[in-house]
Amino acid sequence: MTRVPTNKRQTSADPSGPTVVVSGDGDRLALAGALEIVTLAAARNSLKKWSRQGPSRSLDVAKLDSLDTPGALFLRSLRDKGVKLTGIRAEHQALLDLICGLDLKPLPKVKSVPRWRQLVIQLGKGADNAWQDALDIITFVGRAARWTVNALIHPDCLRPASISRQVAETGIQALPIIGLMAVMIAVVIGYQGVAQLRPYGGEDFTINLVAVSVLREMGVLITSIMVAGRSGSAFTAEIGVMKTREEVDALKVMGIEPMQVLVVPRVIALVITLPLLTFFADIMGLIGGAAIAQTLLDVSPAQYLMRLPHVIDGSDLFVGLIKAPIFAFFIAIVSCMHGLRASGSAESVGRETTRAVVKSIFLVIVLDAFFSILFEKLGL
């Protein structure tokens, strides 16, 4: 017996599909055809009223050609209501016995919590998570710092091969995208500057605006955000996969400290590369500024170069670059921490990666705001 495709739109009304026929009247009815999952709704509807009537009803099922488990469950429910089943075929009897022998309980209801309580619960959970996260980061920063210092004191614990591979992956391969981003951001600032400053006749100051904001803020911020998205996520995913495949446990069993081989090289590598990338982004940003000066202000690249020393000084470059290693440290720490937090399933790696990226970008911006205030107070 083959079944014909049946879906919601063409249920048992489909003439070519299996059908169930109810015949007879009064207390004695007979079922014929197929009592299967696709015809169940039809059978139930035609027997609905009848099955609620008084006792001494019987249903003849001798003409049923096929019966599946949902059909048998339906017959069981009829029998439980006091309907007598007659003429059960031998092959259906085994199935019916099996289904009737099952100890059926309804699925427990999932307790639903009212909306306002859900809000309170989520707020509480969120606060608790944030607190635990803060504690975790502080502990992890401490441990990572301890192992990094240890590696610097005992250079034979350093892993130059691992560090150089990470430098290549996080630094050299990121050059094209970071350079492009820096040029773009200079163009964006340049256009805004010209538009805002022209009414005051001060559009020439666009050069100052672009150069200073790129060097002090934009270069390092764009680079850090890019690196957090690019390399931070890679750190979390790499370490997370190692964690789920018990590779991290294998290291521990061999007496190798995961912090030393997995975290320290990445932290050191990122602390090396992020300032270099930032410097590169600064140069590219200034080149973007030159392009804007040429196209919008008719200032030739030579003139632009002449003016640059008057608009910016060493402290602008310093203020930008000094932040880079600190951002790098936190991006690497947060990413590695989330990688080591992954557990068991593959989906936890994905979840931790998202968290790592969100948290490192958040931290970068918070730290940047903090530095802005600090440098303002210091008069830099």
Partner 1 sequence: MTTPATAHAKPILSARGIVNRFGKQVVHDKLSLDIVPGEIIGIAGGSGSGKSVLLKTLTGLHQPDAGEVLLNGKAVQSIGAAEKASLFGVLFQQGALFSSLSVAQNIMLPMREHTALPAEEQQQIAAMKLALAGLDADSGIKFPAALSGGMVKRAAFARALALDPKILFLDEPTSDLDPIAASGIDALIRQLNDSLGITVVIVTHDLTTLFTICGRIAVLVDKKITVDTADKLMKSDHPWIHEFFHGPRAEGAMQARKTSHGK
The reply on whether position 113 binds partner 1 by CB under 8 A is: no
Residue in 53, 63, 82, 97 binding partner 1, rule: CB under 8 A? 97
Instruction: Please choose, out of 32-40, 195-203, 292-300, 309-317, the segment that lies near partner 1 by the rule CB under 8 A.
Output: 32-40
The reply on whether position 14 binds partner 1 by CB under 8 A is: no
Q: In the chain, where does DSSP find H-type helix?
A: 40-52, 69-80, 90-101, 115-153, 160-170, 175-197, 206-213, 219-227, 233-244, 247-253, 258, 264-297, 301-311, 314-341, 346-378
The reply on whether position 87 binds partner 1 by CB under 8 A is: no
The reply on whether position 246 binds partner 1 by CB under 8 A is: no
Residue whose C-alpha is closest to residue 148's, from 277, 328, 329, 278: 329
The reply on whether position 241 binds partner 1 by CB under 8 A is: no
Choice between 91 and 128, CB closer to partner 1: 91
Residues 339-358, one symbol each (x = binds partner 1 by CB under 8 A, - = not), give -----xx-x-----------
Residue in 22, 88, 95, 291 binding partner 1, rule: CB under 8 A? 95
Residue in 110, 253, 373, 378 binding partner 1, rule: CB under 8 A? 110
β-strands 57-67, 83-86 pairing: parallel
The reply on whether position 311 binds partner 1 by CB under 8 A is: no
Q: Least distance to partner 1 from the beta carbon of 40, Å?
A: 6
Residue whose C-alpha is closest to residue 354's, from 342, 344, 343, 367: 342
The reply on whether position 313 binds partner 1 by CB under 8 A is: no
CA torsion sign for 40, 46, 52, 54 is: negative
Q: Least distance to partner 1 from the beta carbon of 37, Å?
A: 5
The reply on whether position 81 binds partner 1 by CB under 8 A is: no
Query: What is the distance between the alpha carbons of residues 48 and 50, in angstroms, rounded to a whole number?
Result: 6
Q: Least distance to partner 1 from the beta carbon of 38, Å?
A: 6
DSSP 142-184: HHHHHHHHHHHHSGGG--HHHHHHHHHHHTGGGHHHHHHHHHH
Instruction: Please choose, out of 31-39, 206-214, 223-231, 244-252, the segment that lies near partner 1 by the rule CB under 8 A.
Output: 31-39
Dihedrals phi, psi of 30, to nearest 5 degrees: -135, 145
Compute how many other C-beta atoms are within 10 angstroms of the C-beta atom of residue 202.
14
Query: Cα 109 to the chain's mean position, in Å?
Result: 30
The contact set with partner 1 (CB under 8 A) reads 2-8, 11, 36-38, 40-41, 44, 68-70, 73, 91, 94-95, 97-99, 102-108, 110, 344-345, 347
